[in-house]
Structure 1
C-alpha cells in the first residue's frame, strides 16, 4: 500500500487539530488490530486515517509498523489511531514487556529485512 498523497506544506498538527496525545497509551510496539465492525469509509474523511484503518484491517500491526507503512509521522499516527479506537474501529492491545523474546525476535527480523 502506498502512503496517501499529502500536500508537503500541511503540518501534522493541522491534521490532528492541534492535538498531540490521546487517552490511549500507545508505545511504538503497541499492537493495534481492526474490529471489523464498520466499513473503511467510516474511518473518516482524512486519507491518513483511512490508510491506517485499511492497513490494520488486514491484520494486527504495531504503531511503528503502521506509521512507517502509511508514511504518517509517529505522533500523528498515535492521535489518529486514538480517534479510531475511540470510535470503536480499532482495538489497542495491552502493551507487552518490551524485553519479551518474541518482540525482540520480531524487531530483529524487521531490521534484517531492511
Structure 2
C-alpha cells in the first residue's frame, strides 16, 4: 500500500497542471469544430486520408520524397508503408521516418486546434 502512495505523490509532482475540462459537453458530439476537424465522425482514417487539408500534407511529403503514390485509407496506407519501407536501406528508413513524423505532426496539429493551443 505504501508503494502506491509514493507512486501517486511522484505522479502528482511530475504531471503538468492543465485546466480542468468537462469533456462530455466540450467534445462529445460537438458540431462547432475547428477548420482542421470535420463535421463527420472523426477517426484515424478520416483525419489522415479523408480530411482534404491533412491528406494534402501527406501527398506533399510523398511528392517531396519523389514517391509517386496516391494515399488510400488508413489500413491500406499502413500496409503500403510497411511493404515499401522494409529493409535497412536509406530509402526505406526515409519513408519510415517521414511517415512517423507526418502522422505525429498532423496528430499534434489536430490536438492543438481542438484544444485551443493554436
Shorter chain as denominator, the TM-score bin is under 0.3
**Greater percentage in helix:** 2
- Identify the structure with bigger relative contact order (alpha carbons < 8 Å, sequence gap 6+): 1
Structure 1 length-normalised TM: 0.21
Structure 2 length-normalised TM: 0.21
**Greater percentage in strand:** 1
Larger radius of gyration, structure 1 or 2? 2
